[in-house]
A and B are shown apart, each in its own frame.
Chain A
Amino acid sequence: MGNTTYLAADAKLPYCRGCGHALVVRQLSRALEGLALPSRSIVLTTDIGCVGLADSLFPYLHTVHTTHGRSTAMAIGMALADAVLPASGLKPIVMIGDGGAMIGLLHLVHAAQLNLDITVLVHNNFLFGMTGGQHSAFTPLDWSTSTTPEGNRVPPLDLLALLRGAHAGFLDRQFATDGDLNAVIADAIAYPGFSLVEILEICTGYGGLKNKSKGMALHEVAGHQGHSIGRLKAEQPRPTFTQLYRRDIESKTVPLVGNEGSGMLDVRVDAANHHPLPPPPAEEGNQFYDREESRPASLRDAGAADLRFEIQDSKPMHVVIAGTAGERVQSSAALLCRAALSAGLYTTQKNDNPVTQGSGFSLSEICLSPQPIQYTGMESADVVIAVSQDGWNELKANGTLDALTPGSLLVLDSELESESPTGQLLRQPFRHDATPKRAALAAIAFWLGKEPVVPNAAWHSVLAALPVERRTDVSEALRIGANLARQGGAPAD
C-alpha cells in the first residue's frame, strides 16, 4: 500500500519510438502520484491492442487484462461488486484504444448511464496499430490505411458527443503530447462518477507515414474532424449507481418479500455450513455420486388428506384449461394445482400464450397424479376446459382436440362456437354468470362438481393463502361454478 511510484522505476516501455502510448503511461503514473491513492485501491483494466501492454508496467496496481472491448465491461462488474462489499473503494481505470472503444461501445454507454466510478482512457490513434494499421471507426476522412488505400470515406465517430447522450458526467479530449495531460487524467480519476478522456495520438508505425501530406500535427487532425479539445462536459456530479444502491438498501427497513415460489426456502447461507471441501457423496465402492432409484411413496401414504376420488390406474390425469389472455386462465389453473397439492396429489403446470403475452389465447396444461409425475406431457387430454373462443381456437390449432378420446370430458362456455369434438361435452354460461375473468375458475369448480378429483376441503387452504382482496373474488367464482354443477350440466348433445 501507499507506493508513490506507480510505473515501475526500471520500466522498459514496449512501444514504438514516438508512440503516444508511452506518453500516456507516464502521465497516468504522474496523475496517480499526484492523487496519492493507495495502489491496492486501483485496478488497471486493459484492452486488446498495444494499449493492453500497459498492465505489466504497473507492478503495484491490480491489473486485469481482458478481451477486446470488454475491459470496460469487466470494470463495470468489479465496480458493481464493490458497491455491495463492506471494504469498498476500488477504482477501476480502463485503458482502451479506438478499436476497443468501438467494439465495446455498448459497455461505455452503459457505464456512463450507470454513472459508475470508473475512469476510461481512450487511446485514439485513429486506427488498429497492433494488427497492421487497419482503419477504425475513429479514422479521419480521407486517411489512407491498409484497408482504405483510396482514403477513408466514413466519417469518424465523435465518441464524446455520443457519450454526452448517455449522461456521462466527465468528458474530455486531449493530445497525448500535452504536458499537462497528467492533470486532466487526475481530474478524471478524482471525479466521483463516470469519466472518460479521449487522448489523441498518431500511430508512428502506420498512421503517420501514409498520411503525411494531410497534415500530421495532432491539432490539424483534430481540426479536420471538427473535434474540440478540452473539457466537453464536467457537470455537478450526480449520484453514482453505487450511492443509489446503498441508499436503497439502507431505506429498506422491511425484508424483501419474494414473489411466488421464492422465499419458501430458508436460503440464507449459514456460516456454520461452510466447509473447505464437500463431503464425499459417493457411495461405498463407487467414486461417482449415484443415488439409486427408490420408489417414492404417494403423498397420501405420508398422511395427506384423503381423496374422495381415485384417479384411475394411478396414471396422471391431464387437464387443459384454455381461454383469453388477461382473463386469469393461468392463475386459475395455478389455484387448481394448489388445491390438488393440498389434497395430496402431485401436480405439474405448464402455460402457453402467443409471443405478445397480453393478447390472444392463454392456456395451461396440468397433470394431476397420486404418484410423482415424471413425463409432464400428454398424449391426450382427459379434461378440456375452454372458456373463450381464443382458447378454443388454439386447442384446435395445437392438436389438443384431434388427440381427444371418447373418454375425454369437455367443459365449454356456452358462447363458444365449436364443432362436435370427440368426447363428452358439457356447456355452461361461465362467462355470462361469473364474468370473463372468473370464467376459468368457475369452469374448474363446475368440473370438480361433476368429477370430484379434488375435494372441496382442499380449497379452504388455497383461499386462506390468498390475499384478502382476492379471496372474495375466488370464492365467488367457485360458488358460481359449483352451483352450475348442481343445477345441471347434462351432456349437451
Chain B
Amino acid sequence: MVAEGALAAGCRFFAGYPITPASEIYEVMMCELAGRGGLGLSAPDEISSLCYCVGASLRGLKAMTATSGPGWALMSETVQYALMSETPVVIALVQRLGPSTGGATHGAQGDIFLAEFCTSGGYTIPVFAPSNAAECYELTRQAFNWSERLRTPVVLLSDKEVGMTTEPIDEAALAKPAIVERTWCDASARMAAYDIQRVEDVPRFGPVGGEVKVTVTGSAHDWQGRLRKPSPEVVELLLHLQRKIEAHAAEMAMVRSDLDPEASCLLVSYGITARAARQAVGMLRKEGFPISFLQIQTLFPVPTEALRRAAAGIRTVLVAEENLTGQYRAVLAPLLNDRRLMGINKIGSMISPAEIVRAIRRAGGTIPRADWPRQRSSEAEVREPAGTRKAGV
C-alpha cells in the first residue's frame, strides 16, 4: 500500500536496492512505474538509490526509494544533501530488528532516532508512521505532499509487521488527501535558487534542464546558491531550512485519539504497537479502567498541541513502542515533565495487548513505585521515568 500511495501521489521515479522487509515496495514500483510513464531502476547500492532519486527530483519528477535500517544508514549523506539543497524526496523506511544487519525478518521500532536525528545540525525531518495497510496508503500520499510542498526529504516509517502483513483494506474508506505539487517558478524568472522573502518561505522550484537557470548546492550558500562562508545571509538560509518545517508543524500533525475525560492515564503509541495498544485500551475499559489513548502518526515534527490536549488532566503517560530504551518516549519527555512518564518496551517480537494491559495494571496510578513487581525478561517491561533507575533487561 506504500507503493499504491506513492503511485497515487504522482511518484514517477523509484530507485531501489533489495532489502527485507522493504523489497516488496521495490518490486511493485519496478513493475508499475513503466506502465505509468515513470521509471523504476535497480541501483547498485543504497547510496546510489537515494542519489538517483535526488537527481530525478531535481529534474522535476516526484521520487521515492524504500529501504530498511542497514540501507538507511548508507543514505544519511544524501538525506542531508536533499535537506540542504531543498530537494523533495520520500524515503520509505521499513524497520527491522537492529543493530547492524540485525534480524531481517523481525520487526522493530528501533530507528526513531536514526531516522530523525541523522542530520548534522539536528534539523527536523518529517517522519510519518503508519500502523496498517490503509494508513500506509494515506501517509505515503501525505509524505509526498509535504515533501513537495516544503521541498524537503520526508520519511515514511513503518516496520516489518506493518509492511509484510497481508490484510484487507476498504478501498472506499481510504483517506485520499488531495495531491500537492511543488511550487514551480515561472519561465520569466531570472534564476531558480534559494530566493525567499521570509525565513519560513519555501523557494520556488525550477527543474534542472528547464528554461530557468538552476543553481543547486549542498554546501552553505547564499540566496543564489553560491558557495559562501557563513555570513548573516548564509546563516539565515540555514535557519530557514528549519523554520519552514516548524511553520507548518501544526498543520502536519496527524494523530488518532480516543480520549476518556475520566482517565488519569494516557497510553501513547505509534506504528505497529498502536494496534496492540488500541486493543489493550478496549480490554482495560471493559474492566472499568478509564484510560485515554493517543496514536501518533506524525512522529516529527512532534504534534505538541495534540499531545497537550490528550494529556490534559492526565497523571501518568505510558508510551508503548517496540524498542529497547523508549526512543519516542525520550522525545516526548521534555513536553511532559510535570507528569509521570513511563515506557512499555520490548524487542524481538511485537508487544501484545495482554502485555500492555499487564504493564498498565502494574503501573496503575495508585501503586507506589517501590512496590512494582520486577519484570520478567520475556515480558514487555515497564520503564520508570528516565534517570530514576539504571536500565536493564
Interface residues of A (CB under 8 A from B): 1, 40-41, 43, 53, 55-56, 59-67, 70, 73-85, 87-90, 106-107, 109-110, 245, 248-249, 252, 255-256, 258-259, 261-265, 267-269, 273-282, 286-293, 334, 337, 341, 346-352, 355, 373-377, 379
What B residues does A347 contact at CB under 8 A? 166-168
What A residues does B214 contact at CB under 8 A? 43, 62-64
> Nearest-CB distance from A283 to chain B (Å)?
10
> Nearest-CB distance from A13 to chain B (Å)?
15
Asked whether A293 and B59 contact (CB < 8 A) given A110-B44, A374-B278, A374-B279, the answer is no
What B residues does A264 contact at CB under 8 A? 4, 171
Docked Cα-Cα span, A287 to B218, in Å, equals: 33
Docked Cα-Cα span, A374 to B279, in Å, equals: 6
What B residues does A341 contact at CB under 8 A? 168
Q: Is the CB of A348 within 8 A of B179?
A: no
Q: Is the CB of A287 within 8 A of B54?
A: no
Docked Cα-Cα span, A65 to B251, in Å, equals: 33
Docked Cα-Cα span, A280 to B39, in Å, equals: 32
> Nearest-CB distance from B212 to chain A (Å)?
8
Q: Is the CB of A73 within 8 A of B51?
A: yes
Contact with A along B333-359 (1 / 0, CB 8 A): 000000000000000011011100000
Q: Is the CB of A288 within 8 A of B48?
A: no
Contact with A along B15-39 (1 / 0, CB 8 A): 1000000000001100110111111
B300 within 8 A of A: no
Cβ contact of B41, chosen from A80, A263, A350, cutoff 8 A: A80
Q: Is the CB of A76 within 8 A of B52?
A: yes
Docked Cα-Cα span, A376 to B159, in Å, equals: 13
Cβ contact of B276, chosen from A1, A65, A289, A375, cutoff 8 A: A375
Asked whether A277 and B209 contact (CB < 8 A) given A67-B78, A77-B56, the answer is no
What A residues does B51 contact at CB under 8 A? 70, 73-74, 76-77, 107
B375 within 8 A of A: no
> Nearest-CB distance from A11 to chain B (Å)?
13
Q: Is the CB of B208 within 8 A of A78?
A: yes
Cβ contact of A348, chosen from B59, B165, B293, B298, cutoff 8 A: B165
Docked Cα-Cα span, A276 to B182, in Å, equals: 8
Q: Is the CB of B34 within 8 A of A106?
A: no
Residue of B31, B58, B258 ringed by the most chain A CB atoms within 10 A: B58
Residue of B27, B52, B105 ringed by the most chain A CB atoms within 10 A: B52
Docked Cα-Cα span, A174 to B25, in Å, equals: 45
Docked Cα-Cα span, A424 to B180, in Å, equals: 57
Q: Is the CB of A348 within 8 A of B167?
A: yes
> Nearest-CB distance from A386 to chain B (Å)?
20
Q: Is the CB of B258 within 8 A of A258?
A: no
Q: Is the CB of A349 within 8 A of B166?
A: yes
Identify which of B6-14, B110-118, B382-390 touches chain A.
B6-14
Q: Is the CB of B55 within 8 A of A75?
A: yes
What B residues does A279 contact at CB under 8 A? 178
B284 within 8 A of A: no
Q: Is the CB of A80 within 8 A of B180?
A: no
Asked whether A70 and B78 contact (CB < 8 A) given A65-B219, A252-B34, A376-B165, the answer is yes
Q: Is the CB of A40 within 8 A of B210?
A: yes
Q: Is the CB of B48 within 8 A of A106?
A: yes
What A residues does B8 contact at CB under 8 A? 265, 267, 269
What 6 A-B pairs have minimum CB-CB distances, sorted nearest first? A77-B55, A256-B35, A73-B51, A288-B253, A81-B59, A81-B56
Cβ contact of B353, chosen from A62, A287, A374, cutoff 8 A: A374
Q: Is the CB of B253 within 8 A of A77?
A: no
Docked Cα-Cα span, A392 to B360, in Å, equals: 36
Q: Is the CB of B183 within 8 A of A85?
A: no
Q: Is the CB of A63 within 8 A of B216?
A: yes
What B residues does A261 contact at CB under 8 A? 28, 166
> Nearest-CB distance from B185 to chain A (Å)?
13
What A residues does B218 contact at CB under 8 A? 65-67
Cβ contact of B213, chosen from A59, A282, A349, cutoff 8 A: A59
What A residues does B4 contact at CB under 8 A? 262, 264-265, 267
Q: Is the CB of A62 within 8 A of B208?
A: yes
Q: Is the CB of A373 within 8 A of B59?
A: no
Asked whether A376 and B350 contact (CB < 8 A) given A65-B217, A73-B47, A289-B253, the answer is yes
Docked Cα-Cα span, A259 to B4, in Å, equals: 12
Q: Is the CB of B165 within 8 A of A350?
A: yes
Docked Cα-Cα span, A258 to B33, in Å, equals: 10
- Given A64-B85, A274-B178, A375-B352, 8 more A-B residue pairs with CB atoms under 8 Å apart are A40-B210, A53-B227, A56-B226, A66-B81, A75-B55, A80-B15, A81-B13, A84-B37
Report 6 cross-chain contacts, Cβ distance below 8 Å, ordered by A residue: A56-B227, A78-B55, A82-B209, A282-B251, A288-B298, A349-B167
What A residues does B251 contact at CB under 8 A? 280, 282, 287-288
Q: Is the CB of B35 within 8 A of A80?
A: no
What A residues does B332 contact at CB under 8 A? none
Contact with A along B292-322 (1 / 0, CB 8 A): 0100001000010110010000000000000
Q: Is the CB of A90 within 8 A of B352?
A: no
Within 8 A of A (CB), among B234-267: 250-251, 253-258
Q: Is the CB of B58 within 8 A of A259?
A: no
Q: Is the CB of A375 within 8 A of B56?
A: no
Q: Is the CB of A375 within 8 A of B353?
A: yes
What A residues does B257 contact at CB under 8 A? 290, 292-293
Can you name the residue of chain B whose Cβ is closest to the Cβ of A349? B166
Docked Cα-Cα span, A349 to B63, in Å, equals: 30
